[in-house]
Every structure is written in structure tokens, then in C-alpha cells.
Structure 1
């Protein structure tokens, strides 16, 4: 299959995210709240500049779309945006802590299992259907978690919390289909900044001292521009043409690259039990994304394209 520009954009986005632990580890020793504060602040400033310089029409379109929507939809969009901002803030904070204070493996494991957790939450909270092979994949994932928990329960729990916060974030964003994702992300980061600013002392953040720290500002800027805004643009560009299922499969590049970094770059080691558990997770991921349904002999649906898109979206 020939890779299009959109395939390459999605692949590049997840490759960039896979290398995220490298600049993050350059800030080892800083409080997680301090890193979070400047990542949110600088990402928000960059996104505001982007919208102000080249995406004013997109912002205005979202405002018009929201105002023209029924009152119920407006409340759902506002609620999902607010909840998403809080969950994204929690996820970023926890991920920074896990990578810098626990291990890169733990952070990688969180995002490897995240899509399967998202599917399980979609079944439990949204009533989405799962195929038999997907249930087997979920069972394999649960067994791998049990293996990891038998050795390092604290590490497993930290990974699961990171995975659950992002999985819940993805679930809340299901109600925002049709709205410009980058505009809503900017709103969410604005809300995150409003939450983090008053809580800065409790999170260990020292904004005034941070602005005078050239090392912190440099790597926070790299995290914000190179590992937040840039891959988000690439991902958005890819989603304009590719089905979400294709992008969902490509997203596994992220944790796989991070795992490789953990072993080859950071020199982390894995026990035999951990290696078996990671192998089971990879097997469950492959099994989950298999489409084992038999071709249908019934008449085609009046809306085949819409049903196909919904089915593909479940693997994201």
C-alpha cells in the first residue's frame, strides 16, 4: 500500500510522541507541577498565536456552530470540553510524574493499553458493541496487568491511572464530533491554565522562579512546540482524510517507540514476567484490531458509509 501524505503525517505525529520521554527526562529533578505549568502555558500561547495568525475562520466557525446548536447540545459540548480539560490536565501531570519518577516503561505501558481501556469504557458507558475477538483481547490485557501487578503493584497502578485518565478523556470527546479539535483543545488548555494557576504552589510549581530558569524554559518550549502543538497539527491533518481506525492503529507506534527508548536509550531492564506481560499486551493489541466478521449477505444498509466510519472509529 502506497503511503499518502496523510499517512506520513499521522506516522510522524506518533513517532514524535514516542520520543517524548527524551526531552522530558532533561527536566528530571523539577517538580511535575512545574513542568506541567509551563507546558500548558507555552502550548496555550502557541495555539493562540496559531489561531490568531492563520485560523481565525476556524475559531469563528466553531463559535457559530455552538451558538446555532440546540440548548441540549450546547450544554453537552460545554460539559465535555470542561471535563476533557480537567482530565487532560490530570493525564499530563501523571504522565510527567510517571516518566520522570517511576520509569519510561510504565509510561509506555499506559499508552499501549489505553486504546483497549477506551473500548472497554465505551462498552460500559456508551453501550458500544465489541466483537468476540475484542473481548478476548481485553481478557489478555487484564491477564497481563495481573502479571505486572504481581511484581510491582505500585508501578502497575500508576500506569493504569495514566491510561484511565486518557481513556476517559477520549470518551468525553466522543460528544464533540463535528467540532474543530484544535480550537476545542485551545479552550481546554485555557481552562487547564485557570485550574493550574491557583493550584501551582500545591503542585510544586514556582512560576516566578521558572521564568528565570533558562534550562526549564528551553525544554518546556521544546515540549510545547515540538511535542505538543506540532504533532497535534500533523494528527489533525491526517484525520481530515484518513479514517479514525487507520489513525488508531498507527497510534501504537507511540508506545512501541517509547518502549524501545526505555530499553535501548535509558538502559532500563525488564524481568521475565514483565517481558511476558508486554508480549501479551502486544498480542492483545493485534487481536483487538483484527476484523474477523464474515462478509454479510444481507441487503446493504441505506447509510453504509456512516456505519463503516462508526465501526472504524471504535478501534481509535
Structure 2
């Protein structure tokens, strides 16, 4: 495959997300809710500034499109974006909690099973079809999850919650086609900020005075939120969405490697077997792409919508 600027942008985005724990772990002693508060509030300011200043024409175009819609269509646009904000808020909070208070492996595992879990839920909710290879991959993934649950129920429980919140987010965004993706993300994060704002005075801790907190927060907001999202959106302009989809797994794989070799988290034989089964299920699930078999155009389109939502 020829590497071009779009492919490189997607690759860099997922590599950056894979190192997210490096910015979270140094501030693990801060409450997860405080980290979420400041991440969301600063993200709202930065993303809004980007849309208002750099992408103002896109914003105005979406507003005119929204005003031209019927009342029912406008309500649908509001529901899908506000609902996305609710799911993002839940996913971010639980992910930060799992990363800082459960284990990096558990956070990594959540995003290993998320793509497959999303497809299974799409089959149930959206009536999308799965091939026999994909059903086989789902079965292998379930076996890996079952083995891991024998070793640590907490890991599998929290991992599945993280994966479910993001899977439902992706499903909810499948038909969110009336608004520019970055504008939609702005609305969702703004929704998240408005949800969290009333709780800030009562549930936030003392205002952090440690410079390390704000340094890490700057990395979280700029390097691990704004930049990867821009790179991902840029990549989807020129790279097949299936190619971007397979690179999604770079993120949790880097997380797992960091957990074992950098954070020195213990790994036993059952965990190794479980994660190996997950990796095998990923290969089986994507066998058409990996082995250059012809993809069903409908599935390519669906994959495109999912990755834009990400």
C-alpha cells in the first residue's frame, strides 16, 4: 500500500492516542471527575475557537442547512448530537477512572473489543449483517473475554462498560450526516460541558495549583484531543475508511505494550492467552481487508461512517 499524506495522518493520530496514558498517569492522584471537568471545559474553548475562527464558513453553512430543515429533522439533529454528548461524557469519565484506578490493561482491552462489540450491537439494533468470518471473530473474542474474566472480573467489567459507552456512541452517530463532523463534535463536547458545569462547584476539588496538572492537561486537550481529531478528519478525505479502520487497533496495542513494559503491570499466562485470542479475532474479523479480498461496498460505506464518527 502506497503511503500518502492522508494515510500518514491517520497513522499518526492513532499512535498519538496510544500514548494517552503518559499524560494521564502523572496526575492519577487527582480525582477522575476533576480531570474530566478540566478536559471538557478546555476542549470546549479550543474546539469552539477553531470552528468560530478557522472554520467559520463551514459553521455558517451548517447553520443555514439546519434552518432549512423541517421541525422533525431539526429535532433529530439535536437528539443525535446531544445524545452523543451524553455518551461521550460517560465514556471519558469511565475511561479516565479505569486508566488511573483499575489498570492500563483494562483500558487497553476496552478498545480492543470495542470495534467488534460495535458491530454486534449494530447487527442487533441497526439490523446490519455479519459474514461467517465476522461471527467466528466474535466467538473468538467472547472466548478471550471469558478467559480474562476468570482472571480478573474487575478488568473485564470496567472494560466492557468503557467499550459499551463508545460502541453506543458510534451507533448513534451512524446516521449523523446532516452536520459537519467537527461541528458535530463541537456540539457534543459543548453539551458535555453544559452537563458537567452545574456539578463543578459541588463535586470538584480545590483548584489545582501544581504546574504538572496544567502541563498534563494541555497535552490531554491539545495533543490527545484536538490534534488527533484534526488528523483523523484530514485522513478521511483521502484514505479508504477500511484502511483507517484497521489502524484503530494501533491505540490499544500501544496501551497494552506500555502497561507491560513501561508501567510494569503484571501479566500472567491467562491474560496473554486472552489478549492473543483478541488479536486473532481482530485478524479474522478483518480478513477481507488483510488478505485483499473484495469488500462489500455496503460494508465499506458503513465502516466509513463509523470511522468519521470516531
* Alpha-carbon distance in structure 1 between the residues aligned to 2:221 and 2:292: 42
> Aligned pairs, how many?
305
Moved more, 110-119 or 174-183: 174-183
For residues 294 and 259 of structure 1, do their structure 2 counterparts lie closer, same or farther at Cα, with a shift above 3 Å needed?
A: closer
Report how far residue 181 of structure 1 moved: 1.0
Report how far residue 260 of structure 1 moved: 0.9
RMSD: 2.1
Q: Is structure 2 residue 241 aligned with structure 1 residue 244?
A: yes
> SS of 1:241's equivalent?
coil
* Alpha-carbon distance in structure 1 between the residues aligned to 2:149 and 2:272: 13
> Which whole-Å deviations, capped at 9, do the CAs of 1:213-246 have from their partners, x for residues lacking one?
4332221111000100000000000111222221
Report how far residue 26 of structure 1 moved: 1.1
TM-score, normalising length from structure 1? 0.91
Q: What residue is the counterpart of 2:180 in the other structure?
A: 180
> Which whole-Å deviations, capped at 9, do the CAs of 1:109-142 have from their partners, x for residues lacking one?
0001100011011101001111110001111111
Moved more, 94-103 or 306-315: 306-315
Q: What residue is the counterpart of 1:45 in the other structure?
A: 45
* Alpha-carbon distance in structure 1 between the residues aligned to 2:204 and 2:294: 56
* Alpha-carbon distance in structure 1 between the residues aligned to 2:77 and 2:180: 12
Among 268, 271, 274, the alignment partner of 1:274 is 271
Structure 2 unmatched runs, 5+: none
Q: Is structure 2 residue 101 aligned with structure 1 residue 110?
A: no
For residues 160 and 25 of structure 1, do their structure 2 counterparts lie closer, same or farther at Cα, with a shift above 3 Å needed?
A: same
For residues 51 and 314 of structure 1, do their structure 2 counterparts lie closer, same or farther at Cα, with a shift above 3 Å needed?
A: closer
For residues 44 and 265 of structure 1, do their structure 2 counterparts lie closer, same or farther at Cα, with a shift above 3 Å needed?
A: same
Q: What residue is the counterpart of 1:300 in the other structure?
A: none
Q: Is structure 2 residue 301 aligned with structure 1 residue 310?
A: yes
Q: What residue is the counterpart of 2:221 in the other structure?
A: 224
Structure 1 unmatched runs, 5+: 297-303
The structure 1 segments of at least 4 consecutive aligned residues displaced by more than 6 Å after TM superposition are 292-296
> Which whole-Å deviations, capped at 9, do the CAs of 1:239-297 have from their partners, x for residues lacking one?
1122222111111111111111111111112111111000000000110011289879x
* Alpha-carbon distance in structure 2 between the residues aligned to 1:93 and 1:216: 17
* Alpha-carbon distance in structure 1 between the residues aligned to 2:102 and 2:215: 24
* Alpha-carbon distance in structure 1 between the residues aligned to 2:177 and 2:241: 12
> SS of 1:26's equivalent?
helix
* Alpha-carbon distance in structure 1 between the residues aligned to 2:301 and 2:97: 35
Q: What residue is the counterpart of 1:97 in the other structure?
A: 97
Matches within 5 A, 1:30-41: 30-41=30-41
Among 282, 285, 288, the alignment partner of 1:285 is 282
Moved more, 52-61 or 65-74: 65-74
* Alpha-carbon distance in structure 1 between the residues aligned to 2:25 and 2:245: 27
> Which whole-Å deviations, capped at 9, do the CAs of 1:71-102 have from their partners, x for residues lacking one?
33322221110111010011000000001001
> SS of 1:176's equivalent?
coil
* Alpha-carbon distance in structure 2 between the residues aligned to 1:293 and 1:2: 14
Report how far residue 178 of structure 1 moved: 4.9
